[in-house]
Amino acid sequence: MTGLVAILVSYVIGLLPSAYIAGHLVKGVDIRTVGDRNPGAANVYRNVSHLAGILVLVADVGKGTLAILIAQTITSQPTVFLCGLAVVAGHDWPIFFGFKGGRGLATTIGVLLAMLPIPMAVTLAACAIPFLKTRNLVVTGVILFAPLPVLAWRTGASLGLVVYGVALPCLAGILHLITTRNLPKQQKREALYMR
């Protein structure tokens, strides 16, 4: 029963529509109708304001971290894995917006930051300069997540956690492909960058 509560709480945390709120508060726009139409930090950064985009990024990372920290205190490790998936699902498929949400990259970072703090801290540091130079989200994502399984293994993470560190980012990557494939060329290109 506790595990089910933890999963539901995680999904509810994921529902916080930080990009939607920022769009309305700062510029009076529905972020789902501008730019690449993705309710995420990068679209807010490009089409609302840089500061709002950064705050949305922090909020979305925070959602993932908070859900895992709560889950770790009340349930077992296998259920914590499901809670990580649930908070990302809340962000990606929010019930209040017809199950059409963001791509979950920032929330995934938050989940993995709570579950694999040292490997994630290392890869975040490694991708900082390439990100600031290129602002390319795909390149940054590869630098951020590709070495994660090796670092996790080297720091003593379980096999399940190593596999999880591969699977969750893959979900974000697949959603990026699915949600951008039908966009016009210019918007598709915009979706690759945070600038």
92 within domain boundaries: yes
Reported as a single tens digit per residue, the pLDDT across 63-79 is 999 999 999 999 999 99
Q: How confident is the model at residue 185 (pLDDT cuts 50, 70, 90)?
A: confident
**Which domain covers residue 168, as residue numbers?**
2-190
- Residue-level pLDDT at 92: 96
183 within domain boundaries: yes
Structure tokens at 77: 């490790």
Residue 41 is classified by DSSP as: H
Residues facing residue 136 across a β-bridge: 193
How many structural domains does the chain have? 1
- Residue-level pLDDT at 40: 93
Indicate the pTM of the whole model: 0.94
Q: Identity (one letter) of the amino acid at 185? A: K
Calpha distance 24→157 (Å, rounded): 41
- Residue-level pLDDT at 104: 94
Sort residue 99 into left (φ over 0), alpha (ψ -120 to 50) or beta. Answer: left
Residue 146 is classified by DSSP as: T
Q: How confident is the model at residue 138 (pLDDT cuts 50, 70, 90)?
A: confident
Q: Are 109 and 165 in contact (CB under 8 A)?
A: no
Reported as a single tens digit per residue, the pLDDT across 92-104 is 999 999 999 999 9
195 within domain boundaries: no
105 within domain boundaries: yes
